[in-house]
A = this chain, B = another copy of it.
Amino acid sequence: MTDSARYHHGNLRPALLARAVEVIEVDGVRDMSLRRIARDLGVSHGAPQRHFSGKADLLDAVAKQGFTMLGEAYAETMRNVGGGDRLTALAVTYLEFSMARPELVQLMFTRKHSPVEGMDEAVAEAFRVPLEVIAEEQRRGNLIEGDPEQLGIYVVAVLHGLTSLANAGFITAGSSQSLLASAADHVLDGLRPR
């Protein structure tokens, strides 16, 4: 079997997707082109069209893949955290995940996801673990009552906002430590004096 025949058996699509994720993580979205991905994989520039209807379609698939990766990172954290503060551990996981691949995360939260096959399921699966932990902490009386999903969205918004500001350079490396610590306090205790 020659090199050029390696992708004639249905595995070109996952290979294109994996390479696209890789390029976006390493070089950024700006350098992710269909022609470059095809070149990297040794296929012709027209080959991707058989598997993705266009560049936007591939980017949507990358975003979906990002949510799957995030969900796996959460699951990994849950396996490793013992009896500790699971909510904080998950928050740290999100911060590390998105600081390590800012452009991928930006893509995940940018696409007005046009109906992509399985996107909603990937998103739901990614946030399943955090939502379960939030509900659990509510039952234990460590968090206020209310719809766990709304609380979850709020927490994600805070984390996503913080990483966006950090990646944009508004939070310098020097101040990030104290800022993140105080942010954790603010989320729990609020900004109103008690």
Contacts and interface: CB of A to CB of B under 8 A. Distances in A.
Contacts of A189: 190, 192
Given A106-B110, A112-B167, A113-B168, A188 B182 contact: no
B160 A193 contact: no
B161 A157 contact: yes
A26 interface: no
A53 interface: no
Residue among A171, A187, A192 with max Cβ neighbours from chain B (10 Å): A192
User: In the assembly, how many copies of this chain are there?
Assistant: 2
A82 interface: no
Interface string A150-194: 110111111111101101111100010011001100111111111
Contact of A179 (B111, B142, B150, B183): B150
Residue among A151, A167, A190 with max Cβ neighbours from chain B (10 Å): A190
Contacts of A183: 154, 157
A118 interface: no
Given A106-B110, A113-B169, A157-B183, 15 more contacts: A109-B164, A111-B168, A112-B169, A142-B192, A143-B192, A144-B193, A150-B175, A153-B170, A155-B191, A157-B164, A158-B161, A159-B161, A186-B190, A187-B190, A189-B192
